[in-house]
């Protein structure tokens, strides 16, 4: 019989185990902890933890341990359990009460067996076969149902061969063993249910995030992949920083909750783009709004050519009476020269419309000259400047395809992101999501947006996201206004950013030293983009 001191010790142990179970987030480690705890407080040699399958027709082996045989399967052991599920019903859909674990699950009852070999009510033929193969002697059994808060059985905790704590002899499971095991099973069921509920809530939440990203993707197929690639790169770099044991980031660390928080921030970092007009997000050329207005300018050139040809024909007809072939030839020569000049200006504007890294001042002036010195007769018959002020503004964009107003519209997405995220009632372990997600356009020198934060005012996670967002944008091959850069070109720009106060130099050092850029490239870039990166070239510049 258990002493009072022993019972108190085991009760204290049970309380400690219950507290530990409530903190465990990984379901496999949780199940393993439950079985090991049950074996410990009952001093059982072996045990199995089963879970009811989703269709509630069978019990699935999850964790199996037998200490004396050194058998460890499932959980952290690395050894899979290949045993078939235990059916809860037979072929005729009748309850399978011959198996003790199935009986426990079906009837919500604990079964305590002194000796399986002489037990008449259950089928232990499989147990005998196991014993014959291994030389083991399965004797005492304790099978306990694990019931959730609604009273449904979600699993069975089965213990084998209780051992005398003094001499190690196999004994029956005592009433105290049974009570403690039932108490543990109850706590374990609650812990499993809570973990499952948390998992379901997390999956639901992530599904809503995917829904937002899908909306952005459907709105702009050019940037849809961005919402997936940036989080992936963010986690690569953050994990590398977490693994650093020396240098400026040696003290930076993340646990599973921190990683999940950063993952969510990465997935939501551009959610504000749902508010950005699609014609701005997708602006592939300088004159694009809901359509590319270069077509209108093409039409104007054709109108100019047509009008000049008409004038030439009229002049030619006027010469018919005098029959001056030289004068007619001169007219048509002037017409051809005029139209050639128009074609040249048209080709120039079409080229200018595509945008680029840097437009020359001479080219910008040529656009203004074409727009203001040439005239055309519009549909109302009024002679007017060839290009409107808005068209001149767009065609003289120095870099890229966005005007200052449009760039401000694009930049507003981060303000919208922060506002949207700050409206959500984040749980404690996700409180920093708005800060992480909202900081990826800040700069180390305080010249970023929207808040103008400096490096010291930003978390490491936000700085990680800043690097990831920029590198993805440089190498992305699905943008409407450019092709993706090669690795060497992108890394050269990143190096300039790291020395120029744009991105965190310590994180960039890890990005380079640990080969994060190449791992990302092998997963997301086209083969032609992956070339050699030589940091020594940067030193020489």
Question: What are the angstrom distances between the C-alpha of 349 and each of 289, 367, 373, 387, 404?
Answer: 17, 7, 15, 11, 20
Do 156 and 38 lie in one domain? The reply is yes
| CA-closest candidate to residue 46, choices 31, 60, 64, 32 | 64
- Would you say the pTM of this structure is higher than 0.75? no
pLDDT value, residue 262: 95
Do 397 and 454 lie in one domain? The reply is no
Q: Is residue 249 part of a domain?
A: yes
Peptide bond preceding 33 in cis form (omega within 30 of 0): no
Q: Is residue 284 part of a domain?
A: no
Alpha helices in 220-293 (DSSP H): 226-242, 256-268, 278-281
Return the structure tokens found at 465. Answer: 């996201």
pLDDT value, residue 22: 62
What is the domain extent for residue 453?
A: 220-275+415-540
Q: How many domains does the chain have?
A: 3
For residue 65, the surrounding DSSP H or E stretch is strand 58-66
pLDDT in tens, 135-148: 999 999 999 998 98
pLDDT value, residue 273: 74
Do 353 and 466 lie in one domain? The reply is no
Return the structure tokens found at 199. Answer: 């998992």
pLDDT value, residue 161: 95
pLDDT value, residue 24: 59
Return the structure tokens found at 356. Answer: 């680029």
> Secondary structure of the chain: what % helix, strand, coil (to 5)?
55, 10, 35
pLDDT value, residue 344: 93
The strand pairing partners of 159, in sequence order, are 47, 142
Q: Is residue 210 part of a domain?
A: no
pLDDT < 50 stretches in the chain: 1, 540-541
Do 393 and 448 lie in one domain? The reply is no
Do 430 and 363 lie in one domain? The reply is no
Alpha carbons 125 and 139: distance in angstroms, whole number: 13
Do 146 and 41 lie in one domain? The reply is yes
Cβ atoms of 172 and 160 closer than 8 Å: no
Cβ atoms of 143 and 100 closer than 8 Å: yes
Q: Is residue 280 part of a domain?
A: no
Last residue within a domain, chosen from 373, 401, 429: 401
């Amino acid at each position: 019989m258990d002493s009072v001191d022993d019972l108190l010790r085991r009760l204290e142990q049970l309380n400690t185990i219950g507290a530990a179970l409530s903190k465990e987030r990984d379901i496999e480690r949780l199940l393993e902890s439950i079985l090991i705890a049950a074996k410990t407080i009952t001093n059982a040699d072996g045990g199995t933890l089963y879970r009811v399958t989703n269709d509630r027709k069978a019990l699935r082996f999850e964790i199996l341990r037998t200490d004396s045989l050194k058998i460890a399967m499932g959980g952290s052991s690395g050894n899979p359990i290949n045993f078939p599920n235990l059916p809860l019903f037979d072929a005729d859909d009748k309850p399978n009460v011959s198996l003790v674990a199935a009986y426990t699950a079906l009837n919500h009852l604990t079964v305590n067996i002194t000796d399986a070999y002489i037990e008449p009510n259950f089928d232990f033929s499989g147990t005998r076969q196991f014993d014959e193969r291994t030389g083991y002697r399965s004797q005492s059994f304790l099978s306990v149902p694990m019931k959730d808060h609604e009273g449904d059985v979600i699993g069975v905790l089965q213990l084998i061969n209780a051992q005398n704590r003094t001499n190690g002899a196999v004994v029956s499971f005592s009433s105290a063993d049974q009570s403690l095991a039932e108490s543990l099973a109850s706590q374990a069921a609650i812990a499993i249910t809570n973990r499952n509920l948390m998992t379901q809530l997390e999956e639901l939440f992530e599904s809503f995030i995917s829904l937002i990203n899908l909306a952005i993707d459907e709105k702009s197929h050019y940037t849809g992949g961005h919402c997936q690639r940036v989080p992936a790169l963010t986690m690569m770099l953050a994990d590398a920083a977490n693994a650093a044991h020396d240098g400026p980031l040696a003290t930076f660390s993340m646990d599973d909750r921190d990683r999940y928080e950063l993952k969510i921030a990465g997935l939501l970092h551009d959610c504000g783009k749902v508010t950005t007009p699609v014609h701005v997000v997708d602006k592939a050329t300088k004159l694009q709004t809901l359509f590319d207005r270069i077509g209108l300018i093409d039409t104007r050139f054709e109108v100019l050519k047509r009008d000049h040809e008409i004038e030439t024909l009229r002049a030619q007809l006027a010469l018919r009476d005098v029959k001056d072939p030289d004068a007619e030839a001169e007219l048509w020569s002037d017409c051809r020269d005029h139209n050639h000049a128009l074609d040249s200006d048209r080709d120039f504007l079409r080229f200018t419309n595509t945008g680029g890294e840097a437009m020359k001042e001479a080219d910008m002036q040529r656009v203004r000259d074409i727009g203001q010195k040439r005239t055309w007769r519009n549909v109302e018959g009024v002679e007017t400047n060839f290009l409107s002020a808005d068209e001149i503004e767009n065609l003289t964009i120095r870099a890229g395809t966005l005007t200052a107003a449009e760039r401000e519209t694009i930049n507003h997405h981060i303000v919208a992101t922060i506002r949207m995220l700050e409206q959500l009632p984040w749980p404690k372990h996700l409180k920093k999501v708005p800060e992480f997600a909202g900081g990826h356009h800040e700069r180390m020198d305080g010249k970023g947006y929207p808040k103008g934060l400096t490096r010291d005012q930003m978390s490491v996670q936000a700085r990680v996201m800043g690097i990831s967002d920029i590198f993805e944008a440089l190498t992305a091959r699905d943008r409407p206004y450019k092709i993706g850069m090669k690795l060497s070109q992108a890394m050269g720009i990143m190096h300039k950013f790291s020395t120029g106060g744009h991105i965190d130099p310590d994180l960039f050092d890890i990005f380079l030293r640990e080969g994060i850029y190449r791992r990302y490239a092998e997963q997301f870039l086209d083969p032609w983009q992956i070339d050699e990166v030589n940091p020594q070239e940067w030193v020489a510049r």
